[in-house]
Structure 1
Amino acid sequence: MPWKVVTENAYCEITPAIRGLKQQWEKNNYINPQLYRDYDVKRGLRNEDGRGVLTGLTRVAEIEAYKVSGNESVSPADGILYYRGIDCRTLVTGSEQRGRFAFEEAAYLLLFGSLPTRQGLNDFCVQLAAYRTLPKNFFKDVIMKAPPRDLMNTMQRGILTLFCYDDDPNNISLENVLRQSLQLISNMPVLAMYAYQARRYSLGESLFIHAPQPELSTAENFLYMLREDCKFTDLEARALDVALVLHADNGGGNNSTFTNHVVTSSGTDTYSAIAAAMSSLKGPRHGGANSKVMQMMEDIKVHVKDWNDPDQVAIYLDKMLDKQAFDNSGLIYGLGHAVYTRSDPRCEVFREYVVELAEEKGRGAELALYQNVEAEGKRLLMARRHKDALSTNIDFYSGFVYEMLGLPQELYTPLFAVARISGWSAHRMEELSEGGKLIRPRYECVEAHREYVPMEQR
């Protein structure tokens, strides 16, 4: 049977034939939920108590989120996030006290396993600045080539295209992978910002492109390239720098980092592994969560008349939990975390900058609403789930900070990638040096065996 040529207009249509095939798929692909219990499947690679299944060892980062007693029972605890054994909060406070930005120091620590000396940090920053440039005509030939409907996809396309500009792209020696990693750490903010500017231009807005400045930090350069006048305050740059530090890693088991481990274990190139991690991060259950918080808060602003009245806030949150408001999901986004129990240490650090920025920007009324949603939401959720502890995720406040910095929502997840590339790079190098085996978990097939039926007998 000859193929019919699909017209351009019909290329993205869901046709009646596709709907019929979808019904056929549903008919033949149902799996009884009881079978997951019968086979003791660790759905989401998690045990019954919520802890992740142990699939590897790492020295890069660690989450301390609960206490485990002698009989293996789990109890809530204040969260701590360690980078190479060092509480990441001390990276923020240590650099702040000495008047420097912290992200580059955190990236060095994650990659090399030790804190840099003053000269070592300076040399590292000089190397990053030297790499912070895309190939000639890359913006015009790659980023502007197709309309950037989603910045994460545009960035992925850019990363995969950089493979073609690399003279030794498939070499997975640690020395070569380190070179590639440093180049990607340097250029991730450039890719994000240029994709955003191309997006603006495609929507009919003026195009302005600022080349990154070698003397500026990653956070400063991001704001410099974002704004038409290139200006920013010290508090704005420091708040963004802290966000980058706190998002740089979150343990080897988070979805995008595990994806990076899995793809790296196949022996593939750096660009493919990082593009795969980007695919994971794009998902709303992972890196896209803060945008969902912002959408939720905009909805609450409309439906709650008195933002300072906890009772009014609680009434509307109850409706949300009953699936009668906002997106009818029954969720309060930004409250609770897959691992952290009593507190998310990243949120505790970030909270100070939220308050300072809200004061500087005159956004105290909105801050009060956030605080009421946090307090009442946690109270309601703990009562419904019969829990005595629930953490506020960093995503609850990060979107508010980004909004105060003038970042559009479409840049929130790309900014996450700008930070997390340092952790991905560290884990990729660790997997290449220590892994040795292709990661291949087992899936039990529950389809009955049957005979092939000839076409005329079907």
Structure 2
Amino acid sequence: MVFFRSVSAFTRLRSRVQGQQSSLSNSVRWIQMQSSTDLDLKSQLQELIPEQQDRLKKLKSEHGKVQLGNITVDMVIGGMRGMTGLLWETSLLDPEEGIRFRGLSIPECQKVLPTAQSGAEPLPEGLLWLLLTGKVPSKEQVEALSKDLASRAAVPDYVYNAIDALPSTAHPMTQFASGVMALQVQSEFQKAYENGIHKSKFWEPTYEDCLNLIARVPVVAAYVYRRMYKNGDSIPSDKSLDYGANFSHMLGFDDEKMKELMRLYITIHSDHEGGNVSAHTGHLVGSALSDPYLSFAAALNGLAGPLHGLANQEVLLWIKQVVEECGEDISKEQLKEYVWKTLNSGKVVPGYGHGVLRNTDPRYVCQREFALKHLPDDPLFQLVSKLYEVVPPVLTQLGKVKNPWPNVDAHSGVLLNHYGLTEARYYTVLFGVSRSLGICSQLIWDRALGLALERPKSVTMDWLEAHCKKASSA
């Protein structure tokens, strides 16, 4: 029974996705379609911020004492799982549905966000506009934002020098985070704060820092890649290309399908509400009024952990290990034995399970659809498809996993590998570039809304034991 559940799960999820698409024209979310002809993103925010500030004040004054749930000992010692304790405007994660960007699901974003002239996947610039304004931009607005980002993308030489001071063998995330820290020298927020800017204006230099940061991280990331894997032969930016296509170009991949993949990759990896390690870290550090460069560099260091962003490299390495030991034509029964072998050795099957999701990750689904369209005969993609049928029943039988279904990491490496980006250690850098859109968008709203310094209460085991003893005797 479990096996058939796993085989049919993707079909059910795909049907639900198609249902979402077919009903989209009747959805209230269409009110988000941008009617303004204003092409300037910052002026759009200037109009939106006062209304949202009043909305937050009303929430606080009228409902500030409303309880959102009970905190249990399990939550305190279990990584605060399930504890509602953070305001994050740009996206919301539903355990069953998956991520929604400003209320829009991934299929809805694929339907309504502008695409490249020759492509079908959403342009990351369009998602950035959506995250910041809550409105679906016009093609002209996205083009204007793309040009604005291109005009901000120049990286000073001292950033490259800072990276070059590291061994070329240093992990790509170490080099990338170092480059971001070096960019901090030009922080507009730091300068404005030192000059005594009023707190009501904090969002304005934060906006400038965030747009500059988003524009420059692909350049820094591409430099790290070319330094490590292509003998330092860097490729200049092409300002005629959109954000995703230009990143692909600077990495050295000019295949149109790879450019499409990069647009999709950046879009779906951009944001995943605020509780994950990288997003929460960016918000936490930013709440101390550290500028966006410091905040994002801290977020990258969280992303580099094996339990977070580093997982995407682990997936491809594990899959290649399967092929090396068992061959590409491995049967499902042999694959099942290999999965059990992995689990019995005290390891996890990378790419499966999620801290919040309880169904197949929609980000996995859209990548699978991309593969079915562009690379259906790729041997590693076929292996990933077999894993989808084999792994969930095994994890369910194991009985220790709340979510046995694949997450976003289970698929991305195979797609990148197909188009020639085979260096798995670098994959987390791609994740980091993508995540700049979500973290920076929220940082702007953090400052616009005047969100407070984060300072939760911690307790000791002695305190917990005493509290529980008191509660049990009451």
What's the TM-score once normalised by structure 2's chain length?
Answer: 0.75
What residue in structure 1 maps to residue 276 of structure 2? 254
Contact 1:103 1:244 in 2 (8 A): yes
- Paired with 1:373 and 1:223, the residues of 2 have a C-alpha distance of 28
Could you give the per-residue CA deviations for residues 270-328 of structure 1, whole angstroms, max 9, x where no partner exists?
211111111111111111111111121122112324635111111111111212xxxx4
Structure 2 residue aligned with 1:399, among 407, 413, 422? 413
1:27 aligned partner: none
Cα distance, 1:168–1:59 mapped onto 2, change above 3 Å: closer
Q: Secondary structure at the match of 1:169?
A: helix
When normalised by structure 1's length, the TM-score is 0.77
Distance 2:438 2:317 in 1: 28
Tell whether 2:164 aligns with 1:144. yes
CA contact (8 A) 1:143 1:198 kept: no
Does the 8 A contact of 1:155 with 1:195 survive in 2? yes
Contact (CA 8 Å) 1:347, 1:394: kept in 2 or not? Answer: yes
* Residue equivalent to 1:89: 107
d(CA) in 2 for partners of 1:341, 1:245 = 22
Instruction: Indicate if the aligned counterparts of 1:307 and 1:313 stay in contact, CA closer than 8 A.
Output: no
SS in 2 for 1:224: helix
Instruction: Rate the CA distance shift 1:41–1:232 in 2: closer, same or farther, 3 A.
Output: closer
Is the radius of gyration larger for structure 1 or structure 2? Answer: 1
Structural RMSD (CA): 2.5
Q: Check if 1:180 corresponds to 2:235.
A: no
For residues 11-63 of structure 1, what are the alpha-carbon distances to aligned partners after superposition, in whole Å with 9 as ceiling and x for unaligned?
A: xxxxxxxxxxxxxxxxxxxxxxxxxx99555234435xxxx211122321011
Q: Say if 2:430 is the partner of 1:409.
A: no
SS at match of 2:93: strand
**Are positions 1:340 and 2:353 aligned together?**
no
Q: In 2, are the aligned partners of 1:106 and 1:245 still within 8 Å (CA)?
A: yes
SS of match in other structure, 1:376: helix
Deviations 1:105-147 (A, max 9, x none): 0111112221222332221111001011112x23553222332
Matches of 1:161 and 1:97 in 2, distance apart? 32
Decide which of 194, 210, 214 is 2:223's aligned counterpart.
194
Q: Is the 8 A contact 2:353 2:401 kept in 1?
A: no
Q: Structure 1: how far apart are the matches of 2:118 and 2:380? A: 30
- Counterpart CA distance in 1 for 2:412 and 2:371 is 8
Residue in structure 2 matched with residue 238 of structure 1 by the alignment: 260
Aligned-partner residue type, residue 153 of structure 1? T
Read off the aligned partner of 2:236 and give its amino acid letter: A
How many correspondences in the alignment? 380
SS in 2 for 1:42: helix
| Preserved contact between residue 130 and residue 137 of structure 2 (Cα < 8 Å) | yes
CA shift in 2, pair 1:41/1:305, >3 Å: closer
Aligned to 1:153: 174
CA distance in structure 1 between the aligned counterparts of 2:401 and 2:79, rounded to whole angstroms: 23
Q: Give 1:339 deviation, angstroms.
A: 1.1
Give the corresponding residue for 1:62.
92
Structure 1 residues 43 and 217 mapped into 2: Cα distance closer, same or farther (>3 Å)? farther
Amino acid at match of 2:431: F
Match of 1:124 among 145, 148, 151: 145
Distance (whole Å) between structure 2 residues aligned to residue 104 and residue 114 of structure 1: 13
In structure 1, the partner of 2:369 is 352
**Distance change (3 Å), C-alpha of 1:190 and 1:102:** same
- Residue number among 394, 400, 425 corresponding to 1:380 in the alignment: 394
- Residue 370 (structure 1) aligns with: 384
Structure 2 CA distance for aligned equivalents of residues 41 and 378 of structure 1: 26
Note the residue ranges of structure 2 that are not aligned, 5 or more in a row: 1-70, 194-201, 464-474
* 1:293–1:168 Cα change, 3 Å: closer
Identity of aligned residues (%): 23
Which letter maps to 1:157?
S
Supply the distance in 1 between the matched residues of 2:115 and 2:145 (Cα, whole angstroms).
Answer: 19
Is 1:289 the counterpart of 2:308 in the alignment? no
Task: Evaluate the alpha carbon distance shift between residue 208 and residue 105 of structure 1 in structure 2; reply closer, same or farther with a 3 A threshold.
Answer: same
Partners of 2:153 and 2:99 in 1: CA distance: 29
Contact 1:147 1:199 (8 Å CA) reproduced: no
Counterpart AA for 1:193: A
The one-letter code matched in structure 2 to 1:424 is I
Distance (Å, rounded) in 2 between the aligned partners of 1:97 and 1:339: 33
1:367–1:141: structure 2 CA closer, same or farther, 3 Å change rule? closer
Q: Residues 115 and 139 (structure 1 numbering): CA distance in 2 closer, same or farther, change over 3 Å?
A: same
Letter in 1 for 2:216: N
Kindly provide the CA deviation profile for residues 44-89 of structure 1, in whole angstroms up to 9, marking residues without a partner as x. Answer: 4435xxxx21112232101112xxxxxxxxxxx3x23211111232
- Are the aligned partners of 2:315 and 2:410 in contact in 1 as well (CA < 8 Å)? yes
Which one is further off, 174-183 or 346-355?
346-355
Aligned-residue offset at 1:390: 3.2
Q: Partners of 1:57 and 1:143 in 2: how far apart?
A: 35
